[in-house]
């Protein structure tokens, strides 16, 4: 049964005096039978929610209507967000339609589990993301960042044009990095652009109108019905996800053989897969599911962020120049960072403008612009009674750009907001009053387990990219459209005109 129909069957229609949500402020744009659903399918994801937040005076919750008048709530302030994400996080789960859709691509990994199972799995996997381990990974991030830039330079030298689609290279390098951190092996995507893994992930994540329709249908129709439709995309999804599962099965089998042969894993082998295997808490099938999740989420977050960073810096050349000057000031010779005894983590984390740029990119372009939760029991949010089966939207795109939380320049690219005016050091909140004003990685028990990993990886990659190239949009007059179904990606890619810079010579 579809989530909208479930909600309607469990609760009275909105005009009923018995509906405990009837007094909440309702967003404009209601359409009979369709509610606000059509508006919420507009792209970029999260932008309609932002418009509703701006247009609807509220105390933390806005009422919208789904199909057949089902209640859908948008959370708008730190109090409401803290209740759903932290204080009562296990009162909410992913809606059935979201799990059904995501399970096709991610299996039943950490992102799909709920309740005690989620707590247990997260505890077992957490050592792979400890801050000391992330610090040790900086040398890997930097080595791959240099290889990434070398690959771009090689492509430029072999082409008659200086224009490249940076998103493809971003996917290659982040897959290589998550391969090393997640599997303990170099996948080698940068050296082989036809690699099967990158080909399958690009097939899944490339934003198209057809895939957007496919996603929307999962919100309306049961998965079994979509699966029997005579649609070529059904076949492509089945083949692609089957390929990814097979590849992950091979990775798991190889790693188990290696660990068995060593009898005792070497202390430095702290990749995610080794940690999960040594815990003896995961079946082979579950190891494959976890790997599907970490390969997808582990590369896409930073790949997306690096792509959008290149866009923002290309459209703000003054900020790009400012960042490059800081990079050259802190790193006279990039070879210094390749010294195994050099503290790369300390250096990159101490660069205020670099961190301001990274934070601002992550704020304006969160990888997941909208996520939904459904109440699994009666609960309370921001003092408002929330009946079981009510769907709530947590919208990083809208919260991160809300002028009530960030001021009148909320939608502008301003790295300086993350730098203290007196000390000139990086700040943690960007001038916002609450950490719940920044939702890119969410908060609480269901927050992104790889946040430190993604931030560190982005610092290294962006430093190498800006240090080695001057960037411009290949066609400044062309409007860049935000697309994607699961994540925010530029429709038609991100084509840049790249000019190599002589750095450190």
Domain chopping of the chain, boundaries: 3-500
In 3D space, the residue among 380, 384, 373, 379 whose CA is nearest the CA of residue 25 turns out to be: 384
Angstrom distance (rounded) from CA 456 to CA 188: 21
Burial of 234 (0-12, 13-18, 19+ CB in 10 A): middle
For 302-313, letters b (16+ CB in 10 Å) and e give: bbbbbbbbbbbb
Q: Kindly give the confidence (pLDDT) of every residue in the chain, 505 residues in length, as a single tens digit, with 9 standing for 90 and above.
A: 333 333 333 334 444 567 899 899 999 988 887 777 777 677 788 999 999 999 999 999 999 987 767 889 999 999 999 999 999 999 999 998 888 888 887 888 888 889 899 998 899 888 888 888 899 999 999 999 999 999 999 999 988 788 999 999 999 999 999 999 888 888 888 987 677 887 787 777 776 777 777 777 776 777 778 888 888 888 888 898 899 899 999 999 988 888 877 655 454 567 888 888 888 888 999 999 988 888 888 888 999 999 999 999 999 999 999 999 999 999 999 999 999 889 999 999 999 999 999 999 999 999 999 999 999 999 999 999 999 999 999 999 999 999 999 999 999 999 999 999 888 888 889 999 999 999 999 999 999 999 999 999 999 999 999 999 999 999 998 889 898 777 888 988 999 999 999 887 6
Cβ atoms 465, 144 nearer than 8 A? no
Torsions phi, psi for 379 (to 5 deg): -150, -175
Residue tagged 């010579």 (tokens): 505
Cβ-count burial of 391 within 10 angstroms (0-12 exposed, 13-18 middle, 19+ buried)?
A: buried
Give Cα separations from 274 to 197, 277, 405 (angstroms): 20, 5, 42
- Measured CA to CA, the distance from residue 73 to residue 22 in angstroms comes to 12
The CATH code for residues 3-500 is: 1.10.630.10
């Amino acid at each position: 049964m579809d989530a909208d129909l479930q909600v309607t069957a469990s609760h009275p229609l909105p005009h009923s005096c018995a509906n405990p949500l009837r007094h909440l402020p309702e967003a404009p744009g209601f359409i009979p039978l369709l509610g606000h659903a059509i508006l919420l399918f507009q792209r970029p994801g999260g932008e309609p929610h932002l418009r509703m937040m701006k247009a609807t005076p509220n105390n933390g919750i806005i009422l919208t209507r789904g199909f057949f008048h089902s209640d859908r709530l948008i959370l708008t302030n730190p109090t409401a967000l803290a209740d759903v994400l932290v204080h009562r996080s296990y009162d909410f789960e992913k809606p059935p339609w979201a799990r059904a859709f995501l399970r096709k691509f991610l299996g039943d990994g950490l992102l799909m589990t709920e309740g005690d199972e989620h707590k247990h799995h997260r505890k077992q996997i957490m050592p792979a993301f400890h801050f000391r381990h992330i610090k040790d990974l900086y040398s890997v991030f930097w080595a791959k960042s240099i290889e990434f830039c070398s690959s771009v330079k090689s492509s430029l030298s072999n082409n008659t044009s200086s224009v490249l689609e940076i998103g493809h290279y971003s996917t290659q390098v982040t897959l290589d990095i998550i391969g090393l951190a997640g599997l303990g092996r170099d996948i080698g995507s940068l050296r082989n652009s036809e690699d099967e893994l990158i080909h399958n992930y690009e097939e899944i994540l490339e934003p198209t109108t057809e895939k957007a329709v496919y996603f929307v249908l999962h919100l309306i129709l049961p998965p079994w019905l979509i699966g029997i439709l005579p649609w070529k995309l059904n076949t492509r999804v089945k083949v692609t996800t089957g390929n990814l599962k097979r590849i992950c099965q091979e990775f798991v089998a190889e790693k188990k053989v290696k660990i068995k042969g060593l009898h005792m894993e070497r202390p430095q082998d702290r990749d995610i897969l080794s940690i999960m295997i040594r815990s003896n808490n995961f079946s082979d099938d579950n190891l494959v599911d976890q790997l599907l999740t970490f390969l997808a989420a582990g590369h896409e977050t930073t790949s997306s962020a690096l792509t959008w960073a290149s866009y923002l810096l290309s459209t703000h050349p003054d900020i790009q120049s400012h960042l490059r000057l800081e990079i050259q000031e802190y790193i006279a010779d990039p070879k210094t960072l390749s010294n195994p005894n050099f503290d790369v983590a300390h250096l990159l984390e101490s660069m205020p403008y670099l961190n301001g740029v990274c934070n601002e990119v992550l704020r304006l372009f969160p990888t997941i612009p909208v996520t939904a939760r459904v109440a699994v029991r009666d609960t309370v949010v921001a003092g408002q009674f929330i009946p079981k089966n009510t769907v709530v939207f947590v919208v990083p795109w809208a919260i991160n750009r809300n002028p009530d939380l960030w001021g009148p320049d909320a939608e502008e690219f301003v790295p300086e907001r993350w730098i203290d005016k007196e000390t000139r050091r990086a700040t943690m909140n960007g001038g916002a009053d609450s950490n719940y004003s920044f939702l890119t990685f969410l908060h609480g028990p269901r927050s992104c387990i790889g946040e430190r990993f993604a931030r560190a990886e982005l610092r290294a990659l962006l430093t190498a990219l800006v240090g080695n190239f001057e960037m411009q949009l290949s066609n400044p007059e062309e409007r860049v459209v935000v697309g994607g179904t699961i994540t925010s990606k530029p429709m038609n890619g991100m084509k840049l005109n790249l000019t190599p810079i002589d750095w450190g010579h």
